[in-house]
Amino acid sequence: MSKHYQANEREKLVLKTWVKFSRANNTLNQIMRHNVEVQGLTISQFGVLEVLAHIGPLSVKAIGQKLLLTTSNLVTVIDNLVKQELVKRVPCDHDRRSIIIHLTEKGSGIIEPVFKNHLTELLICFSVLDDQQLITLGSLSKELGLKQQPKET
């Protein structure tokens, strides 16, 4: 007797698509994580430095929203970046309760070459797709993500 789930055609299609999507995502994440780690950063440290380099100073909460990380997870990452003098905490001018995270000159010098290498690696990974496929993949990914309602934990 077969132990395979007896799915209808739509269920089979969704399951197969999920497996393909997950495997592609996991493969790309492994490549990008390795690429960042061999350059001396964790993927979370890279994310913080990259968002500060390209957006500018932000609160911890805003960084967390950009990176999809909780504030509690970011505190340790930012503490380590402060110790390495790659970022600094600056009190907010208009809200004494808020702290704004700024990229230091040293941090800027670190993230620029790491980001360039990161982009080069992404270009290699996505070179298997033409421009129209990239547009379609981006559009479908955005639609899939935006149409979801995250579950409360």
Q: In whole angstroms, give the CA distance from residue 87 to residue 90.
A: 10
31-146: CATH class: mainly alpha
pLDDT value of position 5: 77
- For the stretch 92-103, pLDDT in tens is 888 778 899 999
- For the stretch 68-109, pLDDT in tens is 888 888 999 999 999 999 999 999 888 778 899 999 999 999
Contact 99, 91 (CB under 8 A): yes
Q: How confident is the model at residue 153 (pLDDT cuts 50, 70, 90)?
A: low
Q: Where are the domains of the chain?
A: 31-146
SS3 59: strand
Which of 21, 42, 55, 31 shows the shortest CA–CA distance to 118? 31
pLDDT value of position 127: 97
- What's the token pair of residue 145? 């993500």
- Section 130-151 average pLDDT: 91
pLDDT value of position 125: 96
Q: What does DSSP say about strands 87-91 and 58-59: parallel, antiparallel, or unpaired?
A: unpaired
pTM for the full model? Answer: 0.85
